[in-house]
Amino acid sequence: MRSESNEDLLSKRIDKALERKKGENKKLIDEKTLVNVFSRLATELLAGLLIGAGVGWTIDTWLGTTPWFLVLFFLLGGVAGILNLWRVVSGKGLKIGYFN
């Protein structure tokens, strides 16, 4: 009977230690998650702008129309970047099949 109480005591001590560790890990995970979200937001916006500007510059050099397509596709890239930001912030871009 003594061994059962020792096992119960050990079990309680382990559970207590795991709960304390879980609380510390949760804070660390929340900070890492926040950094990951902010870096993803910056990457989404920057990628939209750079790809839009690159496409516009390529079309301008191909057609010989200097600033027009660069400006147009830079603005379209910005709109696409902001749309991607909205998807990340609203949580719609984080799961598969978010159109359902």
Over its length of 100 residues, how does the chain's per-residue pLDDT go in tens digits?
445 677 888 888 888 777 776 655 565 556 677 788 788 889 989 999 999 999 999 999 999 888 899 999 999 999 999 998 888 777 665 556 555 4
Dist CA 42 CA 49 (whole Å):
11
pLDDT at 14 (0 to 100) = 81
Q: Which of 33, 43, 36 is nearest to 81 (CA)?
A: 43
pTM comes to: 0.59
Dist CA 100 CA 95 (whole Å):
11
pLDDT at 26 (0 to 100) = 60
For 78, what's the count of Cα atoms within 13 Å in the CB-facing half-sphere?
6
pLDDT at 35 (0 to 100) = 81
Classify 98 as helix, strand or coil.
Answer: coil
Q: Which amino acid is it at 91? A: G
